[in-house]
Amino acid sequence: MDLLAEIKALEQKARQLEPDAQERQKYWTAVQDYAEDFLGQIEEIPAYVESEKKGRELLDAEIGPARSLNELLALMGQALDKPGLNPASGGHLGYIPGGGLYPSALGDFLAAVFNRYAGVFYGSPGAVRMENQLLKWLAKSLNFPETAAGNLCSGGSIANQIAIGCARDAAQLKARDFERAVIYSSKQVHHCVHKSINMVGLREAQIRYIPMDERFRMRADILVQQIAKDRAEGLLPFMVICSAGTTDSGAIDPLEQIADCCAAENIWMHVDAAYGGFFYLVDELRPSFKGLERADSLAIDPHKGLFLPYGTGAVLVRDGQQLFESQHLEASYLQDAYLDTEEVSPADLSPELTKHFRGLRMWLPLQLFGLEPFVAALTEKRRLTQYFYQKIQELGFEVGPPPQLSVMLYRYCPKSGGQNSFNLALVKKVRQDGRVFLSSTTIEGQVYLRLAVLSFRTHLQTIDNCLQVLAEAKAALLASGEWSD
């Protein structure tokens, strides 16, 4: 076969990758029906499904042959969208719930169709302007200065990593300094912070866990003493990692006092606000975050507090130039792109070059709905947590500290049979029931259940259901005879 004939034959096959308008319409309708079927039942379908196969049916459909969309949607319905946690359900009250706003799905769809190159301004000035506008809005909303710069990344883990790498570079730490470098946090800091420390090469650094007060907040007075002690020993205190909303209990460290300390000691202040950050938009809660505006860097998760689908985090650095210097590198094959730098490019502020155009899934719902319903929803989540805090005590449960945000701890203490085993059994029973999903944690050897209210679909009815499920599960466990009151 000559070359032209071969090319034409290949083209014939390759064109199967481009369905025509009629075919696209068929796909679209099928996918939309599938999504509508799911959303139509979202109030009733379980928040957790225990399944025998755990999605193993997927493995029967080997990659290779072409299949029909209907066959694939049926497979997804069975193996993908049922077993395990249903994060789209308002009944997801464990871990830190995510979102899944519908306009975000439309934004993702369009972002994938157009496939704009959002990493570099020259490639897609519109996409980069949109992401930078969102970051500027974030910075302004959190009272960061105009000099701030940031990046929309995949989540809080990467946001923390970018910030910690930036702090390392700003302090001009070299490998020979790593063993003397000291990082301060509380024991309640998220574990991704430790991963980040390892990833940026600081595995050997000294980590100091500063004791907490009775509400799981870092003791700033002890922080000050510890820094003095470390300096006296010739170490290099260089970074404090605070939490603005811990995962376990939603505690906010005393940011203002920590900011004073960091300013006095010339130490980088990083705030992990992945969970709690968007509560700053709620007027009555802003005072609890006082000092956050003074952070050198901050991680925040729009896929938590802005109810976006998973895969959207953000990092802000107060002095944007420091982030640029930490991340910017040039390459000759990108030389044409350097001709147009009216806007700073995401590729110069993050480890990613080619990236998902995350901006659209954030921009579209914010623009479409306006800010008001977001603030109302965040306020509602907090009120629901306060409501639960009262009601769960009426059911005879012990509670942790009053919730600062929308996460709280509680447990049931039977007189005999063991408290930890009871609460572990309780969380399991709730999972098997499936109407709501809860998760547990252990603090100083004590097992607690957590309530985390952050799904935009969680409303009063959901919390009442949760209380009902807990009351029933508790009664069933007590009736088993293993524990007693």
Ligand X SMILES: *Cc1c(COP(=O)(O)O)cnc(C)c1O
Helix (H, G, I), strand (E, B) or coil at 407: strand
274 touches 51 (CB < 8 A): no
* Pairing status of strand 313-317 against strand 84-85: unpaired
Q: What residues have CB less than 8 Å from 336, skipping those under 6 apart?
A: 122
Q: 87, 91, 156, 320: which one contacts ligand X (CB under 6 A)?
A: 156
181: left (phi over 0), alpha (psi -120 to 50) or beta: beta
| Sole residue written with tokens 């000050």 | 224
The CA distances from residue 300 to 102, 275, 326, 408, 480, in Å, are 21, 7, 19, 20, 44
Residue 97, interface with ligand X (CB under 6 A)? Answer: no
Residue 221 has, within 13 A of its CA and on its CB side, a CA count of: 1
In DSSP terms, which residues pair with 271 in a beta bridge? 242, 298
Residue 155, interface with ligand X (CB under 6 A)? Answer: yes
Only one of the segments 63-71, 154-162, 211-219, 345-353 lies at the binding site for ligand X (rule: CB under 6 A); that segment is: 154-162
* C-beta closer to ligand X: residue 297 or 419: 297
Only one of the segments 115-123, 142-150, 155-163, 393-401 lies at the binding site for ligand X (rule: CB under 6 A); that segment is: 155-163
* C-beta closer to ligand X: residue 124 or 406: 406
* C-beta closer to ligand X: residue 192 or 197: 192
Contact characters 171-210, ligand X, x per CB under 6 A = -------------------x-x------------------
Query: Degrees (nearest 5) of the Cα angle 250, 253, 259?
Result: 145
* C-beta closer to ligand X: residue 174 or 191: 191
Which two three-digit tokens encode residue 421?
A: 């085993």
Only one of the segments 10-18, 79-87, 272-280, 390-398 lies at the binding site for ligand X (rule: CB under 6 A); that segment is: 272-280
Only one of the segments 45-53, 195-203, 267-275, 464-472 lies at the binding site for ligand X (rule: CB under 6 A); that segment is: 267-275
Calpha distance 300→122 (Å, rounded): 27
Q: 108, 131, 248, 301: which one contacts ligand X (CB under 6 A)?
A: 301
Residue 245 Cβ, how far from ligand X at the closest point, in Å? 6
Calpha distance 95→452 (Å, rounded): 7
* C-beta closer to ligand X: residue 89 or 247: 247
* C-beta closer to ligand X: residue 247 or 440: 247
Contact characters 303-342, ligand X, x per CB under 6 A = ----------x-----------------------------
Only one of the segments 64-72, 127-135, 152-160, 344-352 lies at the binding site for ligand X (rule: CB under 6 A); that segment is: 152-160
Only one of the segments 13-21, 201-209, 268-276, 395-403 lies at the binding site for ligand X (rule: CB under 6 A); that segment is: 268-276
Calpha distance 357→108 (Å, rounded): 8
* C-beta closer to ligand X: residue 89 or 196: 196
Q: At 217, which helix (H) or strand (E)?
A: none
Of the candidates 442, 371, 108, 160, the one whose C-alpha atom is nearest the C-alpha of residue 275 is 160
Residue of minimal CB distance from ligand X? 156
**Which 77-96 residues touch ligand X, going by CB under 6 A?**
96
* C-beta closer to ligand X: residue 136 or 195: 195
Q: What residues have CB less than 8 Å from 396, skipping those under 6 apart?
A: 412, 474
Handedness of CA 82, 86, 89, 92 (dihedral sign): positive
Would you tell me which residues interact with ligand X (CB under 6 A)?
96, 155-157, 190, 192, 243, 247, 272, 274-275, 301, 313
